[in-house]
Every structure is written in C-alpha cells, then in structure tokens.
Structure 1
Amino acid sequence: MSLQTLVGLAPLTVAGAAAMTFGAAYVRGLTGFGMAIILVPLLGLIMTPGEAVVLGILLQLLIGPVGIRIILADADRATALPIALLAMATTPIGMVALHATTPDLARLLITIVAVGAFVAVLLPKQAAGHRPGRGAVAGTGIASGILTGFAAMPGPPVVPFYLRRHLEPKVARASMLLIFFGTAIAGTLAALWVGIATRRLFLLAVILFVPMWLGNYVGARHFGRVPPHVWQAMVAVVLGVAAVSAVVRLLN
C-alpha cells in the first residue's frame, strides 16, 4: 500500500509537512510554545483547516511527554495546573465551534488569533512580584481551551500570561509546556468525540513524529544558551512572524 493511499498526501507533500514540522518543533523546544501557531496555518495549505487543527493537536500530544520530568520540576504549578485543567475542560467548546464553522471563516479567526497573540506579548510587563488573581488564571485557562479546540493554538492567552511576568525563562517555558500537554490530551479526546480525528491523521502524526522530535531536541539544546532578554525577544519575533504569515495567507 502506497504512502499516498495511507495518508492521502503525495510523498513530496509529506516531505514538505515534515520540514514544516521540524521547524515548528525547533521553535517549541527553544521557546516553549509556537509549534501550533506556526504549524497549523502552514498545514492549512495542504489540507482543510479542520484537519490541520486536529493534526496539530495530535502532534502536540505525541511530543508532550518528552522531558516531562524537567517540565514538572521547573513549572509554576500554582498557576499552570489550574490553567491546564480549565483549558482541558473548555477544549470541547472550541472543537464544536470548529466543526460548525466554514473553512474561510476558520482561516479568518485563526489569523485574528495569531495577530492578537503578537499584540498581547508586546504589552508592558506586570510589576515585579505581581501574582495573577483567580480571574486572570480562569480567563487564561478558558480562552486557552477554546482556542485549543478551534485552532490547536492554546498559546495566545498563555504566552502573554507568563511573558508579562518577571519569571525566569525556564519557569515560563516549563509552565507553558505543561499547559500545552494538558490541552493536547483534551483536544485529542474532543476530536475523537466530535468524530474529526481520523485514522489517516493519526498515521500522518506518527510519520511526522521523528522530524518533530528532532526539531524539539535541537531547540531544547539551544534553550538556556541565550540571555533572558534575547529569549523574550525571540518569542516576540516568533509571534510576529506567525501573525504576518497568517495575514498574508488570508489575503491570498
């Protein structure tokens, strides 16, 4: 049985998806986020937005356990755990919305999300020692869950939540990765419930696991070798590039 028969994509298209996945996973390993923000719009060029969202969630599920011991040790669990639980609970809402949305509207909304994340991370930092209240934690978790289900993008509410606080990069990075693993679990279950997680997408996720693991490994190796202010600047650049590319794809 040919590769195209198994996953519905030509071998060269799968190779292109592997290259996209490697690059997005490198960003994830380096910054703690960004894989879905970068990858889902790119995958949308070779499949429907709904399929791209589900594939993005499946890939995040597969990569989630990698380095989980370090993630649990470094994360700000006082905020990361409640945000993750709320996000997991609200992910099905976004999945239902995606299932009921036309592809063109889905592309527009995903573009708005990408642009909004870039703008939010540019907002001034909170005062030193600031601890977010329950409302901020709850709002971040709910928004992250809905965006997970709708766009496989839990990051837009979560990244500014941590980047605007005075935290060590390793704490911010681990906190985000912990939340994203939780949303990947919930997103996969919701996709199965709605019926849009197909055998073909599962097989494609398994095929793309190797380039994803390699990209994440290289990115994680580079993490910590740059000063904190450079790391934060790189985060902003990643969000900016994702926002610009999303707008360009929408206009085209």
Structure 2
Amino acid sequence: MPDLSPFLTNPEFPLAIGFVVLAGLVRGFSGFGSAMVLSPSLAWLYGPQVGVPLLLLLDLVVALQMMPEALRTGHKRTLRTLCPAAVVGLPIGIWALDVMPAEVLQRTIAAVVLLAVVVMAMKPRREMPGTGGALIAGALSGITNGASGMAGPPVILFFLSGGNTPATIRGSLSLFFLFTDLIGCIGLIIVGKLTLQVAALAVLMVIPLAIGTLLGTVLFNRGASPALYKGLALVIVGAVGVMGLIL
C-alpha cells in the first residue's frame, strides 16, 4: 500500500480538497474548467511531478462521471474530426516547447486565446465551422496541449462559435476531454510518472470531486440559458488568457 502520510498529515490537505470540489463544480456546470482550477493549485501544493498526473487522473474521473449524459448530447460527428487532429497537433506542441523560450510561448498562446475571445464576444457566429474548422481547432488543441498542458481553449472556442445549445457544448467538451485525458494518462504511465502513490491520492479525492461535479450539474440543469452559459464560458477562457499574460 503506498504511503500517503506525507499528504494526509500536511496542513494544506484540506485546501487541496477545497480546490478539488471547486474544480468539480466548474466542470459539472460548463463541461470544462477543472484543469484550469487544478493545474496551478495542485502544482503549487504538491509540485508538478505529483500535480500533473494527479490532475489528469481526477479530470479523467470527472469525464467518466459525465460520460453517460455526454454520449446523449455531444456532437459526436465533429469529435471524430477533432480528436485525431489533436493527436496530430500534439508532437508539434512538444517540439515548440523544446525550441521556443517558455515565457514567449506562454504569452503567445495567451494572446491568441484572448484575441479569439474578444472577436467572439463582439461578433458571434451563428453556425459552427465545418470540417476544415474542426481540423484546425483540433490541431491547435493538440499544439497547445503539448506546449502548455492546456488542451481546452481552441476546442472550447470552436464549440462556442456556433449556434450550439449549452447541453451540446457541455457534452461535446466532456467527450473530448475524456479522450485527451486517456491519451495523457497512457503517456504518463509509459514514462513512469503516474505512480501508485498518485493513484491512491486520487482515490481519496474522488468523493469530493464527485460531489462538486454533481452540484455543478444541478446548477446547469436549473439555469443554463444560452446567453448565461456562453458568457460564463468566455469569462473562464478569458481569465486563463489574462493569467497567461501576467504570470
């Protein structure tokens, strides 16, 4: 049995549980955002060697929890284009991470994300882009995932750009992140970064994560009008872009 005493005896463990509940709440409502909450908080509390694999495991749990509903509401035909394109874009992002200064890369990605948010807020589209747009969004998602560990913004903005309902956007994003989380976990297992200790710690956090996700789902079902959903989604993605520019 892995030794979890360094985590359980840490006075900051309750704070980690609080972040996990918040991440579940955001993800349960919007279909995304859990990584944006957990990535900086878990890295701060436990360091990236524990924080990154723990984040992926917890994100995978949320995706599995939301999968039954997502299979009913998600735009599966578009996902068949987005997911392979993301796999193709991933090594490009890893290459960019190797050849570009980290600060320049981070700020470039953040600036592009913010520009897309501003354009969408000022001039929203009525129809979702076609196959070409899906290929571009999927490839960009793979690139940003490889370069920064953040796969979400390109695909989130892709689904927000059309006339999709909140339920369709939420379900589509849940299925997309299920795919990317599985790929990420497999990769971490191959390189030996996903340990039994991290897996055991994730098990301890599953219940608070599930509670937060359930609360977020209840809030979504009670009041997610298209305007409210899109507004909150753009605020979340925009906040990530701002953080990428100033941190």
Q: TM-score, structure 1 length as denominator?
A: 0.81
Which residue of the partner structure matches residue 122 of structure 1? 118
Aligned residue in 1 for 2:234: 236
CA contact (8 A) 1:92 1:190 kept: no
Distance in 1 between residues matched to 2:106 and 2:16, nearest whole Å: 19
1:138 aligns with 135
For 1:93 and 1:214, locate their aligned partners in 2 and report how far apart those are by CA, in whole Å.
37
* Identity within the alignment, %: 29
Q: Number of paired residues?
A: 243
Q: Distance in 2 between the 1:243 and 1:42 partners?
A: 17
State TM-score, norm by structure 2.
Answer: 0.83
SS at match of 2:65: coil
Give the Cα separation in 2 of the matches to 1:205 and 1:4: 14
Contact 2:66 2:174 in 1 (8 A): no
Q: Confirm or deny: 8 A CA contact 1:89 1:186 kept in the other structure.
A: no
Q: Secondary structure at the match of 2:164?
A: coil
* 8 A contact 2:128–2:163 mirrored in 1: no
Is 1:214 the counterpart of 2:215? The answer is no
What are the ranges of 5 or more consecutive residues in structure 2 without an aligned counterpart? none
Displacement after TM superposition at 1:176 (Å): 0.8
What is the alpha-carbon distance in structure 1 between the residues aligned to residue 43 and residue 76 of structure 2?
34
Q: Say if 1:92 and 1:149, in contact at 8 Å, map to a contact too.
A: yes
Query: Matched residue of 1:214: which SS?
Result: helix
TM superposition outliers: structure 1 runs of 4+ over 6 Å: 95-98
Question: What do residues 49-85 of structure 1 show as CA deviations (whole Å, max 9, x unaligned)?
Answer: 3543322211111221113222111111121232123
In 1, distance between residues paired with 2:43 and 2:193?
A: 15
- Measured on the aligned residues, the alpha-carbon RMSD in Å equals 3.0
CA distance in 1 between counterparts of 2:49 and 2:114 reads: 23
Distance 1:21 1:247, change over 3 A: farther
The superposition leaves residues 136-188 of structure 1 with CA deviations (integer Å, 9 ceiling, x where unpaired) of 21222222234345544221111110111111111111111110000000010
- Do 2:114 and 2:241's aligned partners in 1 also have CA atoms closer than 8 Å? yes
Alignment-mate amino acid for residue 157 of structure 1:
P
Higher-helix-fraction structure: 2
Q: 1:240 to 1:137 in 2, by over 3 A?
A: closer
> C-alpha separation between the residues in 2 aligned to 1:94 and 1:190?
15
Question: What SS is found at the alignment partner of 2:140?
Answer: helix
Question: Deviation at 1:95?
Answer: 6.6
Change (3 A) 1:26 1:151: farther
Q: Following the alignment from structure 1 to structure 2, what is the Cα–Cα distance between the partners of residues 222 and 111?
A: 33
**Aligned partner letter, 2:177:** F
The equivalences for 1:184-199 within 5 A come to: 184-199=181-196
